[in-house]
Structure 1
Amino acid sequence: MSETQALDRERLRHLFDLRSSYNVRMGGDFTADPYPVWRELREKGTVHEGTVHKLTGYAGDAFFQGLPEPDRPHYSAFSHAALDAAYRNPEVFASSPDEVDPTSGADVYNSMLNMGGDQHRRYRALVQPSFVPARARWWITNWIEETVHALIDGFAADGRAELNVDFCAAIPVLTITGSFGISPERALDVREAMSRPMEIVEVLRPIVAARRENPQDDLISILVEAELKEEDGTTHRLSDAEIYSFALLLLLAGSGTTWKQMGITLAALLQRPDLLERVKADRSLLRPAIEEALRWMPTDPMFSRYVTRDVDFHGTHLPAGSVLHLCLGSANRDPARWDNPDEYDITRKMKASFAFGGGPHICLGMHVARAEMSAGIGALLDRLPDLRLDPDREPPRFIGMYERGVTEIPVVFG
């Protein structure tokens, strides 16, 4: 049995089931459909005072980017036009309220996630070449393909499987940790320690030291060898603290989103057997199936921006220092941009959505995520004949507030 097949399934469920204590702080216990409420809010007005979760009717507290920030006024935007305007104006709608010193310590908040302007552009440029579409084959060959088939090998003979946690969740975490030289048996340790960054630093420390001595074909080596150009024209190699902050951000993003989006896409197809058969027969339909799922139900339906100066925005005055929450989920179903936006329709003309955000901070790993979903779903269709939902098990349900996903995806095949 490979290390991939031997992953502890109970730990996977603890770390990747949205209903678990590990994920509930992002609203993983929210089980209602938020889209009717978001539609009503969008129809009543573009911008509303309050947070997305409170406006939606979620009773608890929910932690996410821009939250909780109890001492700041909060506003939420729900239309495509409003989000487009905010993403196009990062000087007024900033990703962080504070300046970032990337050398001050290893922390995801010291990474390019919270940088703005020229600083963000310079740091992002160091790793951007590894995440462009032309590099998708590098990711697939080195990490994704082997992981996908090893996971399928673990249940292909059983005639049944649970795909959300046992398959979808494992692929991204093994892909991103593998690209850092972290072994599969340590991958779940790293994921579990995301709220304790210094534990992850201790895992990374010997890898970074080894790559400084002997670079390899992986992401840590790219960070070790990268040269950052300063504003005065001088260049320098990244410090260990800068590399750790980069790595923490990439580990958090790389292991925490794609699995949910892959599960959403699989559930949408499995709930429509005729459509699943069409995609199986014509693999050119797999890309629009994935893109439509991204629009129809993005796994992270909200991100936030900090308002840097007083501004009148789509009929609402936003004071400096307030937080504007951008409801991607609502904007992606705005009828001003899409006809019949609540329908999952893979034949519609593809238009760019906000599934991966927008503006300078648009998701760095979006092309890797697409490669993971395409490789994973394609392999399932190749290797599991007559794949269908298990009629004797509860069908998947879409749940979650700030991290949307599905419950179990029980399937039978053969």
Structure 2
Amino acid sequence: MTKAELIFDPFSEAYYDNPFDTYRRMREEAPLYYNAEEDFYALTRHEDVAAAFKDFETYSSARGCDLSMVRSPEAPPKSIIFMDPPDHRHMRSLLNKAFTPRAMQAQRATVVEQVERFLGDVDPDRFDVVQDFSGPFPVEVITRMVGVPDEYHQQVRHWIDASLHREPGQVEISEAGMKATIDTATYYYGLVQERRAEPRDDMLSRLIAAEIPGEDGQMRRLDDIEITGFATLLGGAGAETVTKLIGNAAVIFARQPDQWRKLLDDRSKIPAAVEELLRYEGPVQYNVRYTLKEAQVAGGTIPAGKPVFLIAAAANRDPDAFTDADTFDIDRDQTEAQHLGLGYGIHSCLGAALARMESAIALEHLLDFMPRYEVDWSGLQRVNMQNVSGFKNVPVRVLR
């Protein structure tokens, strides 16, 4: 029987539904994959992906992190994720001060408050884990940190969803997505002006007051465009990651109830469960880089000036890095290899500690709220999004 042609199309319906079979074939048959039609390369093996994430001198972020941005002749908006050193280093050191472990622990009460608020509002017998719970609560936490007024918290989430959405076959951002992106930037830009006039105890005000080294070595303040870029990024990453992770968790645990029972029996396993969720089916599938020079990898050579998909989700299922890599096991030996579920290298997730804390608290409360539950599989619906994987709807019935 002839094997079907190996096609990696990150904008296809089949990819959105389940990319993991494709990833397995890519690791085995084409560890250096080339798509001639779209003229991009892709890496899937853990060793290659991890090395590329760390090699910013070859794999640049300065042109963007998705295919349409990297191929565009226009420079991406000012944002830390679209920077290479030394600019990235200066910005990262500035933002690290806002995301220290102590600062994140200070958010614990807010996280618990929002988790309990939204879980307290759902129907105790039937609800949608994403729409009613994991969608709305994380954005409340991050937007409060940034300094967004209450009435705009959920609007930020809807803008993000619209900007990331892609119909099957659609590579470029849609008109609706572009409008959402512009609306987001316009809103945050206006908020920066308000905070310049009246500073408050929030992240925007601290960014306005901060200084970083300029190109001439002299200290300088951030401009309004840079601060707007930070706010947009934090709102997006702070909302999407946990939203998708908890939605994925409800589905994965429903399919493997023995793992859910482990958590019911021993809540100390929750942090390990969060790590395994990030490895097994994390929210971020890939990031795209641009080669500044020729790159040598195990499968061959990548020319300079090419987009390269660094597929962390494929690397996280690499059997050369993880034993029984396609098995979901919250008791997995986590010293075996570093999962790439929250990035790796200089662009590892800035809010990783916050995401882990939010996810752990959410799981803790779901264990109390629905120790026994079943997913309405007919109502399960995945998102079609740039870079991001997860569910739009996860309807569940709580079993009494």
- TM-score scaled by structure 1? 0.79
The question of 1:150 aligning with 2:117 is answered yes
The corresponding residue for 1:4 is: none
The question of 1:116 aligning with 2:116 is answered no
* From 82, 85, 107, the counterpart of 2:48: 82
Provide closer, same or farther for how the CA distance between residues 181 and 82 of structure 1 changes in structure 2, counting only shifts above 3 A: same
* From 33, 50, 58, the counterpart of 1:48: 33
Instruction: Please give the secondary structure, in 2, of the residue aligned with 1:135.
Output: helix
Q: By how many angstroms is 1:356 displaced?
A: 1.4
The corresponding residue for 1:265 is: 249
Question: 2:62, 2:83 within 8 Å by CA — same for their partners in 1?
Answer: yes
* From 351, 354, 376, the counterpart of 1:368: 354
Q: By how many angstroms is 1:108 displaced?
A: 6.7
The question of 1:354 aligning with 2:340 is answered yes
Instruction: Please give the secondary structure, in 2, of the residue aligned with 1:278.
Output: helix
Instruction: Please give the secondary structure, in 2, of the residue aligned with 1:377.
Output: helix
* From 84, 91, 96, the counterpart of 1:128: 96
The corresponding residue for 1:33 is: 18
CA distance in 1, matches of 2:380, 2:184: 33
Cα deviation, 1:121-168, whole Å, max 9, x if unaligned, reads: 001111112223332212222x32221111011026x32221122111
The corresponding residue for 1:279 is: 263
CA distance in 2, matches of 1:37, 1:393: 23
* From 279, 282, 286, the counterpart of 1:295: 279
Alignment coverage as a number of residue pairs: 359
CA distance in 1, matches of 2:60, 2:16: 31
CA distance in 1, matches of 2:63, 2:200: 37
Instruction: Please give the secondary structure, in 2, of the residue aligned with 1:321.
Output: coil
* From 290, 313, 318, the counterpart of 1:329: 313
CA distance in 1, matches of 2:350, 2:31: 28
- Higher alpha-carbon deviation: 313-322 or 223-232: 223-232
The corresponding residue for 1:59 is: none
Instruction: Please give the secondary structure, in 2, of the residue aligned with 1:220.
Output: helix
CA distance in 1, matches of 2:352, 2:98: 12
Cα deviation, 1:91-145, whole Å, max 9, x if unaligned, reads: 01111248xxxxxxxx97211111101110001111112223332212222x322
Q: By how many angstroms is 1:255 displaced?
A: 2.1
The letter of the residue matching 1:145 is V
Instruction: Please give the secondary structure, in 1, of the residue aligned with 2:86.
Output: helix
Q: By how many angstroms is 1:397 displaced?
A: 6.8
Provide closer, same or farther for how the CA distance between residues 178 and 411 of structure 1 changes in structure 2, counting only shifts above 3 A: farther
The letter of the residue matching 1:134 is R
Instruction: Please give the secondary structure, in 2, of the residue aligned with 1:394.
Output: helix
CA distance in 2, matches of 1:36, 1:29: 10
Provide closer, same or farther for how the CA distance between residues 341 and 400 of structure 1 changes in structure 2, counting only shifts above 3 A: farther
CA distance in 2, matches of 1:290, 1:409: 21
Question: 2:244, 2:283 within 8 Å by CA — same for their partners in 1?
Answer: yes
Instruction: Please give the secondary structure, in 1, of the residue aligned with 2:135.
Output: helix
Question: 1:160, 1:413 within 8 Å by CA — same for their partners in 2?
Answer: no
CA distance in 1, matches of 2:399, 2:103: 33
Q: By how many angstroms is 1:316 displaced?
A: 1.7
Instruction: Please give the secondary structure, in 2, of the residue aligned with 1:110.
Output: coil
Question: 2:78, 2:225 within 8 Å by CA — same for their partners in 1?
Answer: no
The letter of the residue matching 1:150 is R
The letter of the residue matching 2:286 is M
CA distance in 2, matches of 1:185, 1:27: 36
Q: By how many angstroms is 1:78 displaced?
A: 1.1
The corresponding residue for 2:372 is: 387
The letter of the residue matching 1:369 is A
The letter of the residue matching 1:87 is F
Question: 2:53, 2:310 within 8 Å by CA — same for their partners in 1?
Answer: no
CA distance in 2, matches of 1:179, 1:329: 29
Aligned residues: CA RMSD: 2.7
CA distance in 2, matches of 1:206, 1:400: 30
Q: By how many angstroms is 1:210 displaced?
A: 4.4
The letter of the residue matching 1:46 is P
* From 92, 96, 101, the counterpart of 2:62: 96
- TM-score scaled by structure 2? 0.81
The corresponding residue for 2:188 is: 204
Provide closer, same or farther for how the CA distance between residues 108 and 217 of structure 1 changes in structure 2, counting only shifts above 3 A: farther
Question: 1:265, 1:289 within 8 Å by CA — same for their partners in 2?
Answer: no
The question of 1:411 aligning with 2:377 is answered no
CA distance in 2, matches of 1:221, 1:164: 32
Correspondence 1:392-403 to 2 at 5 A: 394=378, 396=380, 402-403=387-388
Provide closer, same or farther for how the CA distance between residues 272 and 397 of structure 1 changes in structure 2, counting only shifts above 3 A: farther
Correspondence 1:181-330 to 2 at 5 A: 181-194=147-160, 195-196=178-179, 197-205=181-189, 207-330=191-314
The corresponding residue for 1:174 is: 140
What are structure 2's unaligned runs of at least 5 residues?
Answer: 1-9, 65-74, 161-177
Percent same amino acid at aligned positions? 28
Question: 2:283, 2:390 within 8 Å by CA — same for their partners in 1?
Answer: yes
Provide closer, same or farther for how the CA distance between residues 397 and 109 of structure 1 changes in structure 2, counting only shifts above 3 A: same
The corresponding residue for 1:343 is: 327
Provide closer, same or farther for how the CA distance between residues 347 and 400 of structure 1 changes in structure 2, counting only shifts above 3 A: farther
CA distance in 1, matches of 2:25, 2:50: 20
